[in-house]
Structure 1
């Protein structure tokens, strides 16, 4: 993730959760993940890595269904917001003091063996060579300059048989650019992801059983004119879910 991204997300961290589109997209992604994952008791054993977790909306949604979530983000402000939610000294949210299986990590992850991943959120103890049953990432791919190294890192973070599931809006043509206001294009590397390209990326990173399909659609108000700052028209954005398994 670029400096432009971390600067922007640090600045927006405190207000991030007040954006209705952020909340809706996360809720729909969470539903899409659960529909494709095994039910309890199998899912209850999963150790999950959430890359680009932001303020932890998806991490906290997944937490009741899995054993643990390691939530990683390169923006210190986003991780501080998540840590505030996890802290018992933060009385202004419903998660305070109740979530015991999520660990917030401030890092730009490029190495599956990075020590920042070693600590088990449940026990608090380090585990050398710790690997995950599932890696998720939501609305992150369009901010990453080069996606193949990311998926190679994800592949390395998974235990044998582990799965990746990532969601982002689809590049469905010129209107995909409207997902972001023109004033927030810093750090946007692509206007959505393409089905064929995502399949090739996952296979190129070593994944098998690759699937790329529409996860959901989300209506979002966009600018009346590029750069106007005035929102009005509604565009329906398709979101892709991209899956693969490590042998």
Structure 2
């Protein structure tokens, strides 16, 4: 994630969970991810933010490694999981502050459930499923990130990612003009993401509409009236594939 993204998300971390559209989008995304989950799975949530998605998926899997490059976001998630936190009962989520570029990153070698670290010289941890929600539109090089995801997976492991679709000029209105720093694209295009995933090595790639999100937008670009502006409906895609 680029520096403007990290700065913005560090600043917004404390109030992130109070954004109703963020919460609703996450709740809708969870329904899309559950068919990919299994109680035996170790999953990685890439760009986990404050852990909204990770914490909702945690009861359905063995463990969640929750990764984000914004330290402010990871601090909020860590506080939630602390003994006095709102989610102290969840014991199988591990927050990791990292900009993941290497599937063998040593920060991923801790089992969230047992807290045991893999010994040096043993094969690196690999995951049954990698998920990522509302992250792709912030990533400059999607080809590189999908190659990293491919490397993070076990043979036969799956990736499932959700983000809003680039359905034309109106997709730009997903973000107010004041928050365009760090936005690399206004949603994702079906044909582009399918090609990128297939070139990364994924098989059985599917890109389909997962849900639609009603979201308030500025009445005019730059007006800053997003809290009272009109409501637009944004389609979200779920993009999935399997590591051969």
TM class, shorter-chain normalised?
over 0.9
Structure 1, unmatched stretches of 5+, are none
**Partner residue of 2:236 out of 228, 239, 243:** 239
Alpha-carbon displacement from aligned partner over 1:67-108 (angstroms, at most 9, x marks no partner): 000000000000000000000123xx2x1x200000000000
Residue equivalent to 2:36: 37
Residue equivalent to 2:168: 173
Q: How far 1:60 moved relative to its partner?
A: 0.2
**Partner residue of 1:114 out of 86, 105, 110:** 105
CA distance in 2, matches of 1:79, 1:55: 6
Secondary structure at 2:217's aligned position in 1?
strand
Residue equivalent to 1:28: 28
CA distance in 2, matches of 1:8, 1:236: 24
Secondary structure at 1:159's aligned position in 2?
strand
TM-score by length of 2: 0.96
Secondary structure at 1:154's aligned position in 2?
helix
CA distance in 1, matches of 2:126, 2:58: 17
| Length, aligned pairs only | 238
**Partner residue of 2:45 out of 39, 47, 50:** 50
Residue equivalent to 1:13: 13
TM-score by length of 1: 0.95
Report runs of 4+ in structure 1 exceeding 3 Å deviation. none
**Partner residue of 1:104 out of 95, 102, 116:** 95
CA RMSD of aligned residues (A): 0.7
Secondary structure at 1:166's aligned position in 2?
strand
Residue equivalent to 2:82: 87
Please give the residue correspondences for 1:46-195 in structure 2 after superposition, counting only pairs within 5 Å. Answer: 46-90=41-85, 93=86, 95=87, 97-127=88-118, 128=122, 129-195=124-190
Alpha-carbon displacement from aligned partner over 1:4-32 (angstroms, at most 9, x marks no partner): 00000000000000000000000000011
CA distance in 1, matches of 2:91, 2:225: 42
